């Protein structure tokens, strides 16, 4: 388990991940936590 307790922690881990460049290719840079969270949910739903 990743022990992620809030959205800010999740966004931080995604930004540090080796696959963050893929997120940026589709959605651009993460600048707003709420929008980033919605985009992540969209990516998971599309998968």
Domain residue ranges of the chain, discontinuous segments joined by +: 7-46
Q: Would you place residue 47 in the very low, low, confident or very high pLDDT band (cuts 50, 70, 90)?
A: confident
Exposed, middle or buried, 21 (CB in 10 Å: 0-12/13-18/19+)? Answer: exposed
Structure tokens given for 22:
């893929």
Mean pLDDT, rounded, for 2-14? 90
Tell me the C-alpha distance between 31 and 2, whole Å: 23
pLDDT in tens, 20-44: 999 999 999 999 999 999 999 999 9
> Is the pTM for the entire model greater than 0.75?
yes
Tell me the C-alpha distance between 25 and 4, whole Å: 24
């Amino acid at each position: 388990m990743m022990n992620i307790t809030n959205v800010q922690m999740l966004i931080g881990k995604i930004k540090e991940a080796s696959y963050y460049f893929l997120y940026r290719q589709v959605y651009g840079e993460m600048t707003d936590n709420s929008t980033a969270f919605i985009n992540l949910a969209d990516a998971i739903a599309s998968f």
